[in-house]
Structure 1
Amino acid sequence: MKLTVFGATGGIGREIVRQALDAGHEVTAVVRDPARLSVTGERLEVFRDDLAAPEAVRPAVAGRDVVLSGLGARSRKDAGIAARLTRTVLGAMEAEGVRRLLVVSAGPVGPAPGSEGLLDRTARGIVSTLLKDVYADLGEMEAELERSATDWTVVRPPRLQNKPVTGVYRTVVGGFPAGGRFIARADVAHAMLAMAGDPATVKQGVGVAY
């Protein structure tokens, strides 16, 4: 497949690029600073842009099969960036007629597991309060996707870890894995690539966790 990856220098985005290249895909990595992209490969094209306007991004998505995004706030001070930058991506995709899009959100933005225990429910409440601005930004990003013409999938992980890919995790379409507290960034990337061709995940939020 021909893929475009936004947020390619972030933890999840970099893993998407690496794993996609290993799988034989052609990858366009959209970055603000190419020097921060440590991944290399013969099938890799690096596209430099700060996502200020959809028109400038259109060449990066034109003719692609799937667009994947790891865009999002890295701290509370960056709250608002996910929705704003995703609007640019959506504008470019809709202008080019590219439909398949997968993005990263967060577990607390989606529905809680029906069997969630007191400890998990309490932890979810504390985290949601501490990161309320970040989660509000992700909620607005998800609303933008729902209003778009794309075949979107929102991937909602819990706390992220810097560990190697395992390919072993749980996913719940329209919900979240009960008791899921952690997942490696590499496995979030693995899940997103696996979902890219899965019609059951189109226009759905998908919880993913160990």
Structure 2
Amino acid sequence: MKIALFGATGRVGNELVKLLLQENHEVRILVRQPNKVQLHSQKLRILSGNARNKEDVERVISGCDVVISALNTDGDDTLSIATPLIIQTMETYKIHRILTIGTAGILQSRTQPEVFRFQSDESRRRTTRAAEEHLKAYLSLQASKLAWTIICPTYLPDGNLTKNYRYCADYLPENGREISVQDTAHFTLTQLKNHEFLHKRVGICY
């Protein structure tokens, strides 16, 4: 499978590249600083560019089968700018499947189901800026005709690959506290051919 991956130099993105290459997928990534990529493989194509630029987005996506976005907020609005560009390009090239990494903040609150977790007393974040960026990306995907799934981890420490975690559509599993970067990437990989959570956010934790 040919996969276009955005956010490859982030923690989850970097782990995803490793797992995808281990499974012999062809991976095409867009990075602002190619020298930051420490992975080397004949199956990995590294393109220099910026996800805020439509032409760069097109160069990565054209010819691919699936798109994965592990873009984070990085203190700016790249996520909410890039997501509509990715959607437009996928629609142009008739590519339908997209997996993205979100945040548990955009899941529904268990205590106040009418609002998102970041808007409720479940959230322990002092600022909502990152969640608001992820919400904009979610709303863009929701309005599209793509076959999308948003993986929404809670607190994300580095850890081990256990392949043993809980997940739930649209909500964080009860008493969920954390999930490792490695297991978040692993769950994302399992969704490449799995359509169980089409048009869903998926909360994931231990």
Aligned 8 A contact 1:58 1:95 in 2: no
Q: Tell me which amino acid in the other structure corresponds to 1:20.
A: L
SS in 2 for 1:143: helix
How does the TM-score come out when normalised to structure 1? Answer: 0.89
> Could you say which residue in structure 1 is the equivalent of 2:181?
185
Structure 1 residue ranges, 4+ long, deviating more than 4 angstroms after superposition: 120-123
How does the TM-score come out when normalised to structure 2? Answer: 0.90
> Could you say which residue in structure 1 is the equivalent of 2:91?
94
Identity %: 25
1: CA distance, partners of 2:181 / 2:35 = 21
| Matching residue within 121, 140, 145 for 1:144 | 140
- The two structures, once aligned, show a CA RMSD in angstroms of 2.2
Give 1:165 shift.
1.7
2: CA distance, partners of 1:113 / 1:170 = 16
1: CA distance, partners of 2:172 / 2:203 = 4
Give 1:79 shift.
4.1
2: CA distance, partners of 1:65 / 1:142 = 21
The C-alpha deviation readout for 1:13-69, integer Å capped at 9, x for no partner, is 001100000111111111111111112212111111112332332131122121111
Q: Tell me which amino acid in the other structure corresponds to 1:13.
A: G
Give 1:174 shift.
2.5
List alignment gaps of at least 5 residues for structure 1: 115-119
> Could you say which residue in structure 1 is the equivalent of 2:21?
21
Give 1:163 shift.
1.4
Q: Tell me which amino acid in the other structure corresponds to 2:190.
A: A
2: CA distance, partners of 1:167 / 1:178 = 19
**Given the alignment of the two structures, is residue 203 of structure 1 paired with residue 193 of structure 2, yes or no?**
no
> Could you say which residue in structure 2 is the equivalent of 1:34?
34
Q: Which moved more, 1:81-90 or 1:188-197?
A: 81-90
> Could you say which residue in structure 1 is the equivalent of 2:109?
112
SS in 2 for 1:131: coil
Aligned 8 A contact 1:73 1:79 in 2: yes
2: CA distance, partners of 1:70 / 1:125 = 22
> Could you say which residue in structure 1 is the equivalent of 2:131?
135
Aligned 8 A contact 2:52 2:81 in 1: no
2: CA distance, partners of 1:108 / 1:52 = 24
Aligned residue pairs total 202
List alignment gaps of at least 5 residues for structure 2: 112-116
The structure where helix makes up a greater share of residues is 1
The C-alpha deviation readout for 1:175-205, integer Å capped at 9, x for no partner, is 2211111111111111111012111111110
Aligned 8 A contact 1:55 1:92 in 2: no
